[in-house]
Amino acid sequence: MHLKTDTARSFLYFFLLVLLLLGCDQEEKNKPLQLGDTAPDFAVKDLRGNVIVLSTLQGRPVILRFFETNCRFCRADTPAFTQFYAAHKDKGLQIIYIGSFYEKEHDLQAFAKELGLVFPVVQDQQAQLADLYGIRAYPQTVFIGPDRRILAALLGGVGAAELREIFGY
């Protein structure tokens, strides 16, 4: 009988430890992202069917641009992103345009074609990426360093000066 009690007690302690660890992990997941945090990993398909996994881009600077097709700021500053990408893609720069959760694929395709986007565009179905990065308003741009640390997050339009300043190019 004593052996059963010790085994039950050990199991109970183990179970409580697992619950405690899971509770801490959940709390950490719900913590808002801060500058310097590691950018959360994700895997998505772009409009061309290519799979993008953020962790495979480690060692490269990455820009995540959360946008809406009907946003005048998104349209107005897209040429700055395109020019910045053309000038720095040889340094490994990656830009990923992420359409808001309610965007239809054909609208995203039309936006990409009209503005001549040469970098990936993804549809954020069910706002999974927006939730992962805490995006509540559009447009918002998240800058990720080669070490996958968040360098900056800007709400609203972005110009060439901000792009140069954040990455130091």
Map out the domains of the chain as residue ranges. Answer: 1-31, 43-167
H helix runs in the chain, sequence order: 2-30, 72-88, 105-114, 128-133, 160-167
Say if pTM beats, i.e. exceeds, 0.85: no
pLDDT exceeding 70 applies to what percent of the chain? Answer: 82
CATH number given to 43-167: 3.40.30.10
pLDDT at position 65 over 50 = yes
**Which pLDDT does position 29 carry in this prediction?**
52
pLDDT at position 138 over 80 = yes
**Which pLDDT does position 27 carry in this prediction?**
36
pLDDT at position 167 over 70 = yes
Written as one letter, the residue type at 160 is A
